[in-house]
Amino acid sequence: MAKNKFNKNWLHDHINDPYVKQAQKEGYRARAVYKLKEIDESEKLIKPGQVIVDLGCAPGSWSQYARNKLAGKEGGGINGTIIGLDMLPMDPIADVHFIQGDFREQDVLDALEEVLEGRKVDLVLSDMAPNLSGVAITDAARVEHIIDLAIDFARAHMKPSGALLVKCFNGTGFNEILAKFRQEFKIVLQKKPKASRDKSSEIFLLGKVLKNPA
C-alpha cells in the first residue's frame, strides 16, 4: 500500500513538475537538462570549438543541451565535438557521436580515441548515478566508485586546463569525495541547481584545472 502511495505521489509530482513540462515543450529528453543549463550559465562551461564528453549520457538531455550550445556553424552542424558514452542504448542526436559500452573496456576506449583523433577533452560531464539500495554506507561506496571512474577518465583524456562536472550526493562519504576533488583540481565548486528537487541530497561538483595532469 505504502509503495503504491509513494508511486502515485511521485507520478503526481512528476506530471506537475515545471521542469518536466518545460523539457517536453523545448524538446529535451529529461528535466536534468536544466541542472546543466543553470551550472553552465553561471560558470560558462560550454564554448564553441570544444571537445566535450558526456559520461552516462542516456537518455541524452545533457548531450542535447551541449549540441544546442555548439550549433550555428556555417553550413549546419556544430562548432566542436560531442561524444556520449553509456552502457545503455540511446536514440541518436544530430552531431553527437554515441559510443555504447563500458568506458573501462578497451574496445570502447579505442572507439573514443578514433573520434578524438589525438585531441584532449575540454569538458567532461557526468550525470551518472548508481542504483541506490537505501543503505547509506553501501550507497556512499557506489557513488564514490562512479566518481572515481569519472576522475580517472578526466585524468586520462582531459586537457590540463579542462573541467569535470559530476553528480554527487551530500551525505555519507561526501566529504571524502570533496577531498578527492580538491586533491585533483585547483578550483572546486559545489553547485545545487534549482532544478534539483528540494528533498534530494543531489549536489554537483565542478573541478577545474588538473593539479597533476597525466
Please tell me the total count of domains within the chain. Answer: 1
Question: Is-above-0.85 flag for pTM?
Answer: yes
Asked whether residue 25 is domain-assigned, the answer is: no
Whether the CA torsion 4, 9, 15, 17 is positive or negative: it is negative
Residue 99 lies in a domain: yes
DSSP state of 84: E
For 120-168, the DSSP string reads: PEEEEEE---PPP-S-HHHHHHHHHHHHHHHHHHHHHHEEEEEEEEEEE
Residues assigned a catalytic role: 167
Residue 66's alpha-carbon distances to 52, 61, 156, 188, in angstroms, are: 8, 9, 22, 22
What is the predicted pLDDT for the residue at 2? Answer: 54
13 domain-assigned: no
Contact 123, 50 (CB under 8 A): yes
Task: Give pLDDT, residue 162.
Answer: 98
C-alpha cell at 170: 551530500
Domain that holds residue 90: 33-210
Is 19 within a domain? no
What's 154's domain CATH number?
A: 3.40.50.150
Domain-located, residue 124: yes
Examine residue 69 and state whether it is found in any structural domain, yes or no.
Answer: yes
Report pLDDT digits (tens) over 59-108: 999 999 999 999 988 888 999 999 999 999 999 999 999 999 999 999 99
Share of the chain above pLDDT 90, in %: 80
Residue 206 lies in a domain: yes
At residue 199 the predicted structure's pLDDT band, cuts being 50, 70 and 90, is confident
| Residue at 51 is within a domain | yes
Burial (CB count within 10 angstroms: exposed 0-12, middle 13-18, buried 19+), residue 162:
buried
Average of per-residue pLDDT values in the chain: 92
